[in-house]
Structure formats: C-alpha cells, structure tokens
A and B are shown apart, each in its own frame.
Chain A
C-alpha cells in the first residue's frame, strides 16, 4: 500500500498548552502542546501516571480541560455544546486500554455501536461491518460473544469498533497492554495500516520500544504532565497560547 502520510499538512488535532487539574487539586496535565496532521502518527510515550489516559480523554472530550485549548479539525472542544461534542466524538475512534466492550454482546454488536449511535441504516451497518471485520481478521468470530474472545481478539474488536465509523482521528490508549510480543506486533501492524489510510493517529503507550514498530511515527514524551512536540507553532497555536 502506498504511504499516504502527508507530513506538514494542516493539523487535524491540535493541543495548545493544555492543563488538566482534577478536583483534588492534582495536575494530571500541566502543559501539553501537540499537533497531529492527516495521516500522521504520534506516539505519546510516558511512564504510568504521566497523564497519557487523561490526555486521551481530553482529546475525546470526555474530560474538559482546565486551561488551554484542543482543536479537532476546526472544532474548539471547549466551546462545543454537549450534542456537538458527541458529534465530534463520532468523527474520532478510540481504542480504550480497558477495551470498553460489552462482554455479553457479540462482536458485530460491539463493532456496530458507533454506527448505531450515528443513526446509520441497517444496510450500511451490515456492509461496513463486513469490511471492518475482514480488515481486522475477525470474520469467523462475528457472532461470538466478546467475553469468549482472547485478549488479542478483544483488542482487535476494540480497534474494529474504533475504525467502524471511518474516523478522521484515531486515539489508541495503551493498545498493546497485556498482549504478548507477537500479538502486540500484529495490533501495531493493524494500526499502522489504518494510519496509512489517512487517519491522524495518536498512540499513548508506556512502552518506549513501541514506536520502532511503525516507522515514520513521531514521538512525544509525556512526563509529569508536560509534553511538547518539536514542530513550529502555527498561527492558531499562537492564538491558543494567548487564550
């Protein structure tokens, strides 16, 4: 497959001096600046407790940021209403570290969730599910309950659900956690392929060796809630910094 990554294109995901302070007064994120363009892959690497999951949740709009701003495309997440935020979330895919799958539901029911939430027709859902299942290699398991799958298969279901809605942005939080080396490699190959198709991808991981699995990805180190990327700030970044 042709490398579709477009380095330097206008960023799809932009974080400007993002700070997240929880009610207890603990700063999970202190100063995070990050830009990810279409077809770009950024690894956010940091030890456990560095704030990777919080950053992912902030990017998804599941947690409001305390300071700074996050843009997904042209949408300023802090300024979106509840319904607009849901619509924006439907444009993103999320691979959760704890899967967030419904164990007693079948593979197709789990993967179809974002499509159901988006109000897609049954015909569209059926067609899309067959494509996605073939892509992640789970066609034979489509009617299996998720609780009967292996960890690797569940991770694949999670990835399949994340890409079912054909998202412009894919956020994967610890996608290889608890997986053996071979399965982790398979999952990363899958993510690399998704990125080649043009999605902006952020992979949060504690495993510093993971970026070497997919060549061409940028690495941003998150430590103590501080994370900066090296690319020069855009005009919007300067505006964001001023807010």
Chain B
C-alpha cells in the first residue's frame, strides 16, 4: 500500500512540476471565483445577523402593561385571536423576550449582564392573515389593539423593514445566481487546467489503459491535483477575504462594524465553507477532464 501511495505522490509531483504555470494560473483564477463565493457568503451572513427573521415577519407586538396577570394575558390573546384579520396569536413572556434579545444581540452580552431581571414587558405577538397584510387593512386592527385597556403600546414589526424584506429577497436570488456562476467558473478553470494536464499525458494514459490499469488508478493523480487546486484557491481567497474583514473592521465606524463583527468561529466557518466548495468543484473539474478523454 505504501508503495502505491508513494507512486501516486510521485505522479502528482511530476505532473505539478510539468504543469506548474497552468496550475498557478488556475489557482489564482480559482481564488478570484472563491472570493466571489466567499463575498456572497459574507454578505448574506452579515445581513442575516443584522436583520434576523423575526424583524421581517410583518406581524405586530402588543406590549402588556406591567402587573397584568397571565390569566388576563390569555384572555386578551383569545380576544385578539378572534378578530377576522388575525391569523395567529402568541404570548411572549418578559423572560422569553429578554432571552430572545440576548440571543440576537450576542455581541452586547456584557451590557445585558447588568440586568438582574428582564427589563422588557410581556407582549402578545399577532400575525396577520395574508388578506390583511397591507397597511390599510392593518391600521384599523392596530388601533383596535391600542384601545384594549391593558395594552401599553402596539408596534407593527415588519413595516419599517418591509422594503428591506424585498431587498433581501433580491439579495437571496442574486446570491444563488452568483454562486452558480462562480461555481461553474471555478469548475471550468479546474477542468481547463486538468484537461491540459490530461491531454499532455494522453499517450501515457492510453498505455496504462492498454496494460489494464483501472480508471481509478489512471485518474487518481488528477483528482488529487483537482482537490489541491481547489483547496489552494480556497486558501488564497480566505486570506484575501480575511484581510478585507480585518481592514473594514478597523477603519469603519460603528454601523459597519456591527455588520462585520467577526469572530474566530465565523472565520473557521468561512474557511470550511470555501474549502468545501473548492474541493468539491476541484473534483468535479477533474472528473469532467477525465471524462472528456475516456468518454
């Protein structure tokens, strides 16, 4: 087994030495694609952190006055749930609201530690039916809520973020499109480089084919090269993105800093994500290159 692995390594090294300009070009071009893939990842990650899903749900939160009993909260919830425009109702206790806030703003946990109890009020969250989702239908219902005696304040959650919701939807589609394009570009780059390497060794591969070498034996060095090329591209792209994150985090003011507040675990996640894409697409490119030769 050791001899086989040694021979495989020898073939890979030999091929890299023979084909290094194309491989280097492939790694750099691949890194550009990976920067794009990583940039999409960063953008969507930051947006998701800055605008969590609950902000965009489009419901309303009716904050209950302090001291209102749970029984009365249940009665109020039942009353609101009975209105024709309301789809569902949920009581959120002060403790749950506090936990939710801490979870969503994890970076401010030191600030939260100063509070022994939840400073937030309990609330009744209401979701509207799709037929009552526009503002003209919502407004009378919100006013009706405000008139309930134990309700201190009513906040329509989604309205401020409604335009943002459609923007995020566009971002989501753009992200999918860019990912597909970048993935295709990276696979094509690996395919071209590997195709060149395979074509340069066509005679040798034909000779191996004649003497009974399996496809796995013939293709193994090219798969290894594809994986290495994808991984190297991922590493270069990660370094570039990490430098951008660090530079942006230092030089920009608070709002962007919140958006780009980056932890070590996030960096590892980004690297893992890029590496996974790189290795997968490297393998795919090598597979296409070999398939073109062997059919």
Contacts and interface: CB of A to CB of B under 8 A. Distances in A.
Interface of A: 60, 62, 82-83, 86-92, 94, 96, 100-103, 105, 110, 113-114, 116-122, 161, 165
Bin chain B's interface residue count.
Answer: 10 to 19
A113 B207 contact: yes
Given A102-B203, A122-B3, A117 B215 contact: no
B111 interface: no
A100 B4 contact: no
A102 B211 contact: no
A100 B207 contact: yes
Q: Interface of chain B, helix or strand or loop or mixed? A: helix
15 contacts: A62-B209, A82-B214, A82-B215, A83-B214, A89-B211, A91-B212, A92-B212, A101-B207, A102-B207, A113-B207, A113-B213, A117-B217, A118-B212, A161-B211, A165-B211
A113 B208 contact: yes
A139 B3 CA distance: 24
A94 B207 CA distance: 10
A178 to B, nearest CB: 18
Interface in B1-51: 3-4, 6-7
Contacts of B210: 60, 62, 89, 94, 96, 100
Contacts of B95: none
7 tightest CB-CB pairs across the interface, nearest first? A89-B212, A90-B212, A117-B213, A114-B211, A102-B204, A86-B214, A100-B207
Interface string B193-236: 00000000001101111111111010000000000000000000
Interface of B: 3-4, 6-7, 203-204, 206-215, 217
A103 B203 CA distance: 9
B212 A114 contact: yes
B203 A117 contact: no
Given A100-B203, A105-B204, A113 B215 contact: no
A219 B238 CA distance: 68
Contacts of A96: 210
Nearest to A102: B204
Contact of B212 (A103, A117, A120, A122): A117
A119 B7 CA distance: 10
Contacts of A120: 3
A216 B214 CA distance: 36
A130 B204 CA distance: 22
Contacts of B4: 119
Contacts of B209: 62
Given A113-B207, A121-B3, A161-B211, 12 more contacts: A82-B215, A86-B215, A89-B212, A90-B211, A94-B211, A102-B207, A105-B204, A110-B207, A114-B212, A117-B211, A122-B6, A165-B212
A123 B247 CA distance: 56
Nearest to B218: A117
